Amino acid sequence: MTNLEIHKLYERYLRGWAAVTPEERKTIVEQVLAPDIKYATRQHESGGRQTVEDNMVESKA
């Protein structure tokens, strides 16, 4: 993967955190995150894609 490809992937991931529709957010998450991702934050012990989506939505509240 080239630096440009990585940059574009990262930009797409960041778009998921922006004010987008739920459908667009889900599509972005499915495109940029591995199906077996392990996601953890202070609020989430461990989770997958759905936890990332939930966290994206919660960050807007």
Instruction: For residue 25, count other CB atoms closer than 10 A to its CB.
Output: 19
pLDDT score of 61? 66
Instruction: For residue 51, count other CB atoms closer than 10 A to its CB.
Output: 18
pLDDT score of 43? 80
Tell me the pLDDT tens digit for each residue of 45-61.
778 999 999 899 988 76
Element (H, E) at 54: helix 49-58
Element (H, E) at 44: none
Is 40's pLDDT higher than 80? yes
